[in-house]
Amino acid sequence: MPEKWIKIRQLKRNSIVVIGLGVASVIGSPEFSLAQSHKPTNNDSENIEISFIPAPQEPPDRGTPKSDEGTGSRGDCLSKSSLPPLTSLAGGKNHLKLTASDRPTFWIYLPYTQAEAFYGEFSLQNGDNEIYRTRFKLPAKPGIVSVSLPSTVAPLEVGKQYRWYFDINCSASASSDDLSTPASLTGTVERVAFSANFARELKTASKPLNRIATYAKHGIWYDAVTELAQLRLQQPENLNLKQAWIKLLSDRHVKLEEISSEPILGNVEIIKK
């Protein structure tokens, strides 16, 4: 074989070896391994234990309802034996009334839809003074909805207990002379101050689920359920978040397992005046 062909073949063979070594060195490098290990998946969320520990509470006021289910008549509202009843996720039970937020979000499971009710109403009262009232459209399907206080509402005062009302004005049946029969919920909310220990734990929480676990640990229920619900709305396919939600609502101090698998729909649509 001519000498020049031997040199060409050796050159090609050497090139292949060099390229092969180059790829091997890249794959084996720490930078490559780091990039490969951080591909986002639904299983990336760390399993963090979230347990609700009720804060020490005074006995409930006489006016506080004993149940978090609807207090109004459901007469003409469509009977839905296959669905849970109208249920509050926060504030219906006395030990689920605390928030650290100046304008908390209120969460309700709503079995009724826009096909069955004209509208719903939400109001918040400070004693005999009504500080906020709004009307909203019902969603197209049953699920967990929320009402957020706008920035125009004065921030809640620390240590003061407020009462809220959630009313659904159901359409009248064909056999009824009444225009509507409301289905209602009522509950309380109380803003608490950050203790030094609580503030320190919240500041050092490195992940969203750590923050939620901190709220739950200190009995701050409104904020725990709000932050976890918002996470689930952002990542609806995340199985770890779904499991955390079901476990939190099924906690022995919470007992909301009946609605823990219902869809989270988010903020209701406010009816502008």
Chain segment 146-156, per-residue pLDDT in tens: 999 999 999 99
Where do the domains of the chain lie? 87-270
Mean per-residue pLDDT for 139-166? 96
Q: Which residue has the higher pLDDT, 33 or 220?
A: 220
Residue 10 has pLDDT above 60, yes or no: no
Q: What is the pLDDT of residue 179?
A: 44
Q: How confident is the model at residue 273 (pLDDT cuts 50, 70, 90)?
A: confident
Residue 118 has pLDDT above 50, yes or no: yes
Residue 174 has pLDDT above 70, yes or no: no
Task: Give SS3 for 249.
Answer: helix
Q: In what order do the strands lie in the sheet with 98-99?
A: 98-99, 180-191, 161-171, 117-126, 129-137, 269-270
Q: Which residue has the tokens 């320190």?
A: 200
Residue 213 has pLDDT above 90, yes or no: yes
| Alpha-carbon dihedral angle through residues 220, 224, 226, 227, given to the nearest 10 degrees | 130
CB 271 within 8 A of CB 114: no
Q: How far is CA 42 from CA 57, 168, 235, 241, in A?
A: 38, 37, 9, 9
Q: How far is CA 171 from CA 17, 72, 74, 105, 138, in A?
A: 79, 15, 11, 27, 12
Mean per-residue pLDDT for 98-115? 95
Per residue in 234-266, pLDDT (tens digit) is 999 999 999 999 999 999 999 999 999 999 999
Q: Which residue has the tokens 């001519």?
A: 2
Kindly report which listed range (7-16, 141-150, 183-192, 195-204) carries the lowest average pLDDT score.
7-16
Residue 209 has pLDDT above 90, yes or no: yes
Runs of H (alpha helix) within the chain: 3-27, 30-37, 196-204, 208-217, 221-234, 239-249
Q: What is the pLDDT of residue 80?
A: 77
Q: Which residue has the tokens 């049953």?
A: 142
The fraction of the chain above a pLDDT of 90, given in percent, is 58
CB 265 within 8 A of CB 112: no
Q: What is the pLDDT of residue 95?
A: 92
Per residue in 24-77, pLDDT (tens digit) is 333 333 332 323 333 333 444 567 888 899 988 665 454 444 444 444 334 457
Give the DSSP H or E segment for 220.
none
Q: Which residue has the higher pLDDT, 196 or 273?
A: 196
Architecture of the domain whose range is 87-270: Sandwich (2.60)
> For the whole model, what pTM was predicted?
0.76
Q: Are strands 87-88 and 161-171 parallel, antiparallel or unpaired?
A: unpaired
Q: What is the pLDDT of residue 2?
A: 54
Q: Average per-residue pLDDT in the chain?
A: 79
